[in-house]
Structure 1
Amino acid sequence: MLSPDEELIARLAEDLARQKYSPVAAANYCSYARGFLQYLARRKLDVAAVKPPQIEQYLHHAIRCFRKRHDRAPASRWHAIPRSGIHALLRLAQGKWPPEPEVIGPEATVRHAICCEYDRWLHEDRGLARASIYALMWEARHFLAWQLDHGGTASVMELSVRDIDLYMDMRAPGLSRRSLKDVAERLRSLLRYMHRMGYVAADLTGHVVGPVLYAYEGVPSTLGRDQIAAVLEITRRDTSPKGLRDYAILQLLATYGLRSGEIRNLLLEDVNWRAESLRIRHTKTGACSYLPLMAPVGEALLDYLRHGRPETDRREIFIRSRAPYRPLQDLHSEVRRRLWAAGIKPPGKCGPHIFRHARAVELLRASVPQKVIGDLLGHRSSESTIPYLKLATEDLRAIALDVPGSEVLA
């Protein structure tokens, strides 16, 4: 009869096999999980009561044992494998990992209460997109932790302009003007909410000063048609599962100019093969639109689904190429890697959005009405499309007027 620890290891092995981990990776995870259970048994600790600090203590212990056994230190990222195996074990033993952070002390209690209510308000009352809520909540937690650490719970109600200035000065180093303006806008949102709910006596939103950004200043990166063709061709030659996935993603970016989140959230049922259409849920507006499934996109998707997508019960189309097989969380590294492989290094940002810029410019040059471009790109208003006009610089040069008197100077 198996002991409780052996039963837990057997369940871990079954769970890893179900998630399609390779036999080598699964064996390593189970080996390190078994070592962790033995460590807990020697110290008479229950696996159901383990907290994050105890994992760090075990890893320090494991590194000392490794050094003693091999007479050298392990590689710098060696700890990632035992840590992953232990986390997988604890997800089975405790049902959830990592655990929610403990709320200890009056400052932590106040911060937790304000953040929970603010999160609910952003979601239910304002109906913001998940990415927007994440950014606002990060700033809220950061600001409240900073304020409560140096002023205590009483300082929240007595929040002053000086506190705001000190926080903005602390956040400013290393940030661009655009990023610092975003910090100011997120802080205003939090202060407005806290004043409305009675946490802050005075409305300080007007005292949060950020840098002034002029309309349409700076030209974002974009790609030429030949550059897009080059990156598609280079990626098409990679017939590995990851290559098939990235090629399908790049086809969606180049053909429709979709946002990263719209591609990551694309489900199997969003592709209507009979009607040759594609349903897109726009991440910022929450609306759905239906686009024609163009032949190159359909062929790339079909090739990936047949030969590249791992076996999983997830409904999202684009999945990690290695276990655990979860939906992709970000497309920036995949796009950047494919651009660099094609020898393309834009002067500015080189994430998925530059394909969106390129698609907008192509439509503008084809004399497509601005309202239609906005609908295709999933913009809430036509004003959101105006910044893309500045990208068509060659078109502006082509229609430049002669300077009066230039013929005399010549």
Structure 2
Amino acid sequence: MADFFETGEFHSRRYRYGNAMLCQEFHEELEQFRSGLEGSGLAEGSIDILIRGTRSFLEFLEKEGICSISGIHHSHLNSYIMEAAPKNSGNISNVTWPLGKFLSHLKKQGKLPFDRVPKLPHPVCRRKKVLPCMEDAETSAILAAVDRSTTMGRRDYAIILTAAYTGMRISDIFALELPSIRWAEKEIVFVQKKTGTENVVPLSAEVGNAIAEYILDGRPKSDSRSIFLSTKAPYQPMSASGNRTRIIHKYQHAAGIERRAYDGKGFHAFRRSVGTRMLEAGIPVTTVSQTLGHGSPVSAKRYISLDVKGLMECCLDISPFATGKEGLS
């Protein structure tokens, strides 16, 4: 409305509030830091974490009455980490990593107020919870709960089926554009949001038919290149809205699937299912990693924990050893 009264035109876009204005020196230094990161080859999401973390540190300095890089002392680093730690108990590296990167940037610019970049504390390795994949019966029930006679239903059915068959991240599915579907080659080509690298996945008949049905008989008329659009004007790309959790929760509820907080049964469970089924079929971990577009094969190893049959083959025979408990006999 402010834009409308000022310019006479209405612009449909999301505004983000909350970032405090930094002093001139800190603002300029943060922009220089951002420019250096954008040419470093880091993914967009990683750059966003570094910038947000650095801004948080600079805002902390201003609260301490420091408005100059030369005024930073070691005590400020310790105080900032102690203050930010309770809010980042799950991943303290989101505090120390941006701080270390920014200090390295200052050293490169010759502005570091210390002799060397301090060695920041690293968190100990924490246990990673093995989240479940989506069971075949659950996937079938969710798809059956979608009302494909409606425009929204045809869109949501195509989105869920694509996730279940390809293992693509939901952010990448939402960002798919019309040229991403290569019908003749039977493949989907896209640039991953998380890694910034191109990936190609097979286009099965089921997924292709669902997407085609939505495009031909469900997708609103729009000049947008994005495949999946909202059902209400101005028909924004799905990537511009927060609908990903609403979609999966809606059809899980309709299918009678109970959800608990942090149970891992969101859209990403479909991706874990694809990785697990590939391993169960005897496909090498490296191939699974390449198919899912991981930056490193190590990322695919988590699916080994879900391959119960394969894990049983790795178990040692304990029959030669005497056991005193019934459960081990």
- Equivalent-residue separation in structure 2 for 1:132 and 1:324 (angstroms): 31
Residue in structure 2 matching 1:167, options 45, 67, 80 = 80
User: 1:222, CA displacement in angstroms?
Assistant: 2.3
Aligned pair 1:132/2:37, yes or no?
no
Which amino acid in 2 is paired with 1:131?
A: G
Which amino acid in 2 is paired with 1:160?
A: H
Aligned pair 1:123/2:35, yes or no?
no
Q: Could you tell me which residue of structure 2 aligns to residue 110 of structure 1?
A: 25
Q: Could you tell me which residue of structure 2 aligns to residue 379 of structure 1?
A: 294
The alpha-carbon distance between structure 1 residues 397 and 244, as it changes in their structure 2 partners (threshold 3 A), is: same
User: 1:325, CA displacement in angstroms?
Assistant: 1.7
Q: Could you tell me which residue of structure 2 aligns to residue 224 of structure 1?
A: 135
User: 1:163, CA displacement in angstroms?
Assistant: 1.3
8 A contact 1:194–1:200 mirrored in 2: yes
8 A contact 1:266–1:317 mirrored in 2: yes
Residue aligned with 1:356, SS? helix
Q: Could you tell me which residue of structure 2 aligns to residue 192 of structure 1?
A: 104
Ranges in structure 2 where 5+ consecutive residues have no aligned partner: none
Which amino acid in 1 is paired with 2:136?
A: R
Which amino acid in 2 is paired with 1:223?
A: M
Which amino acid in 2 is paired with 1:159?
A: I
Question: Normalising by the residue count of structure 2, what TM-score does the alignment of the two structures yield?
Answer: 0.84
Question: Normalising by the residue count of structure 1, what TM-score does the alignment of the two structures yield?
Answer: 0.69
8 A contact 2:106–2:112 mirrored in 1: yes
- Equivalent-residue separation in structure 1 for 2:212 and 2:11 (angstroms): 36
Q: Could you tell me which residue of structure 2 aligns to residue 18 of structure 1?
A: none
Which amino acid in 1 is paired with 2:233?
A: A
Aligned pair 1:273/2:183, yes or no?
yes
- Equivalent-residue separation in structure 2 for 1:90 and 1:241 (angstroms): 36
Residue aligned with 2:124, SS? coil
Residue in structure 2 matching 1:304, options 207, 210, 214 = 214
Which amino acid in 1 is paired with 2:272?
A: H
CA RMSD of aligned residues (A): 3.1
Q: Could you tell me which residue of structure 2 aligns to residue 68 of structure 1?
A: none
Aligned pair 1:402/2:312, yes or no?
no
Q: Could you tell me which residue of structure 2 aligns to residue 147 of structure 1?
A: 61
Which amino acid in 2 is paired with 1:381?
A: S
User: 1:100, CA displacement in angstroms?
Assistant: 11
User: 1:341, CA displacement in angstroms?
Assistant: 3.2
Ranges in structure 1 where 5+ consecutive residues have no aligned partner: 1-84
User: 1:210, CA displacement in angstroms?
Assistant: 4.0
Residues 310-349 of structure 1 correspond to what in structure 2 (within 5 A)? 310-329=220-239, 330=242, 331-342=244-255, 343-345=257-259, 347-349=262-264
Aligned pair 1:354/2:269, yes or no?
yes
Residue aligned with 1:151, SS? coil
- Equivalent-residue separation in structure 1 for 2:16 and 2:323 (angstroms): 77
Residue aligned with 2:189, SS? strand
The alpha-carbon distance between structure 1 residues 360 and 344, as it changes in their structure 2 partners (threshold 3 A), is: farther
Which amino acid in 1 is paired with 2:128?
A: E
- Equivalent-residue separation in structure 2 for 1:104 and 1:332 (angstroms): 29
Q: Could you tell me which residue of structure 2 aligns to residue 56 of structure 1?
A: none
8 A contact 2:164–2:270 mirrored in 1: yes
The alpha-carbon distance between structure 1 residues 378 and 112, as it changes in their structure 2 partners (threshold 3 A), is: same
- Equivalent-residue separation in structure 2 for 1:276 and 1:209 (angstroms): 49
Question: Deviation digits for residues 321-369 of structure 1, max 9, x if unmatched?
Answer: 2222221234233233333433142653443222111111111101001
The alpha-carbon distance between structure 1 residues 163 and 96, as it changes in their structure 2 partners (threshold 3 A), is: farther
User: 1:242, CA displacement in angstroms?
Assistant: 2.1
8 A contact 2:85–2:95 mirrored in 1: no
Instruction: Name which one, 1 or 2, has greater alpha-carbon Rg.
Output: 1
Q: Could you tell me which residue of structure 2 aligns to residue 367 of structure 1?
A: 282
Residue identity (%): 25
User: 1:245, CA displacement in angstroms?
Assistant: 1.5
User: 1:406, CA displacement in angstroms?
Assistant: 4.7
- Equivalent-residue separation in structure 2 for 1:183 and 1:104 (angstroms): 18
User: 1:387, CA displacement in angstroms?
Assistant: 2.6
Residue aligned with 1:309, SS? coil
Higher relative contact order (CA 8 A, sep 6+): 2
- Equivalent-residue separation in structure 2 for 1:88 and 1:268 (angstroms): 32
User: 1:271, CA displacement in angstroms?
Assistant: 1.1
Residue aligned with 2:222, SS? coil
8 A contact 1:157–1:201 mirrored in 2: yes
